[in-house]
Amino acid sequence: MKLGVVTGMLAEAKLLDGLGHDVVSGGGDPASTAAKIEQLVQGGATHLVSFGIAGALDPALKPGDLLLGPVVVMPDGSRLEADAEWLARAGHALPQARALPIAAASTAIATVAAKAALHQSSKAAAIDMESHHVALAARKYGLPFLVLRAIADTAADDLPPAALVGLNKEGRPAIGAVLLSLLKNPGQLPALIRVASRSRVALKALLGGRAGLL
């Protein structure tokens, strides 16, 4: 088994250093993410993983909760299933993880109202920006896939504008764009600090979640 792992942020990818997996970061950019997944497959990946933080849609979820996604709800509402056998193995390795549907979108779901609407329409528990690309590539090439995510922002959190411009296409922090957003709207600083704090909680949970990939 050769894992091809897809993340949004370089910080997520670095959690897998030394494990021997092929890992790419798309930075939330749809075209870049899709192209990098193609590279993983062409490079010999036999199994695909969507790995990283996610935003909660279910109000019951809190920062640091670990999720395994048996189903990815696509942007058009269709649903693609993760590999059941692999999911079961990951669940056995991560008894703290909850198996719940994951929605995916190419643009951030940033407001409480938008999260509530998506939760109602999709019945998904969380949202990320990579899993649909992983699921589509897995279907295209007939490969098994797995979704492993940790909750950062909750269903009750609005994401500030600065958080939405925080990455480049490599998944690295876009410091200049964040500072410019803060200069334009300094009042978002407390919310940005909250995002950073909850992201650290999620990344710590993901570090423990690596056992589900083995």
The answer on pLDDT for 170 being more than 90 is no
Residue 171 has pLDDT above 80, yes or no: yes
Q: What whole-number distance in Å separates Cα of residue 89 and Cα of residue 145?
A: 13
Q: Tell me, what's the pLDDT at 186?
A: 96
- What mean pLDDT comes out for the span 105-129? 96
Does residue 188 register a pLDDT over 80?
yes
Q: Is 36's pLDDT higher than 80?
A: yes
Give the orientation angle of helix 30-42 with respect to helix 131-141, to 10 degrees. Answer: 40
Instruction: Give CA–CA dist 48/50, Å, rounded.
Output: 7
Question: What is the rounded end-to-end Cα distance, in angstroms, of the chain?
Answer: 10
Residue type, 116: A
The count of C-alpha atoms lying within 13 angstroms of the C-alpha of 171, restricted to the half-sphere facing its C-beta, is 21
Predicted pLDDT of residue 126: 98
- Answer yes or no: is pLDDT of 214 > 80: no
To the question of pTM greater than 0.85 for the whole model, the response is yes
What average pLDDT does the chain have?
95
Question: pLDDT tens digits, residue range 130-160?
Answer: 999 999 999 999 999 999 999 999 999 999 9
- In the prediction, which pLDDT does 88 show? 96
pLDDT digits (tens, 9 = 90+) for 93-107: 999 999 999 999 999
Per-residue pLDDT, 10: 94
* pLDDT single digits (tens) 44-54: 999 999 999 99
| pLDDT surpassing 90 at residue 129 | yes
Cα angle 17-25-198, degrees, rounded to a multiple of 5: 80
Q: Tell me yes or no: is domain 3-157+200-213 CATH 3.40.50.1580.
A: yes
pLDDT number for residue 172: 85
